[in-house]
Amino acid sequence: MHSANVLESGIAEQFVDASLAVVANNDELMRQATILVRLIKLMDGSEGHQDMDELVGRVARSLETHLGIYELYLRKDREALASSSLELEKALETREMLTVRREVGDIRDQEYSLKMAVADWGIDNYRAKTRELKSSVAAMSNLRDRFESEFIDDLGRLAVDDYRKIRGLGVGSELSEMIIGSFRKISESFG
């Protein structure tokens, strides 16, 4: 069982660097989204906010970039999870087939032992990898837990009137639609 622990720790180390990048991206995504909501609240109802238009544009573009990275990481992990789950299933079938072959005398003991060790290593490897990926996908799939409740409430208020406040800010239709698209993606991740 020692080899399984070493294997699991090696797999865990592979995910540490990626996890740190994901966490950093998600933290920045939350920060940019929160700033953008605050700017929208400041601009709503006030006049002469042209000096904030450029800032809103920079923050909105940064948010869109971080959302794209978030979606890329999530898609990559979901694909890796599907692949790892399939490989685990194959390794389990291989082990079962070896057991059946041994019971009917279709394989020599030495060959059985060698192939079973390889199959068990694969099973341990794919179980550990699948466990890590499930955890990663679960953590990334719902951003709601990462945002402050005030942000969630503000986002909900903006969505209630189909984002009319954003469209009415006078920052241009392209930028308004970018902001709305980003907020919709965040809301969709809330589940």
Q: pLDDT tens digit string along 127-136?
A: 999 999 998 8
pLDDT of 189 reads 84
Higher pLDDT, 2 or 95: 95
Q: How far is CA 40 from CA 37, 155, 182, 189, in A?
A: 5, 11, 14, 21
Q: Which residues contact 22 (CB under 8 A, 6 or more apart)?
A: 70, 73, 136, 140
How many C-beta atoms lie closer than 10 Å to residue 46's C-beta? 10
How many C-beta atoms lie closer than 10 Å to residue 50's C-beta? 9
| Dihedral Cα 8, 13, 18, 20, nearest 10 deg | 120
pLDDT at 110 over 60: yes
State pTM to two decimals.
Answer: 0.77
- pLDDT, tens only, 42-93: 887 666 666 788 899 999 999 999 999 999 999 999 999 999 999 999 999 9
pLDDT at 10 over 90: no
pLDDT at 137 over 80: yes
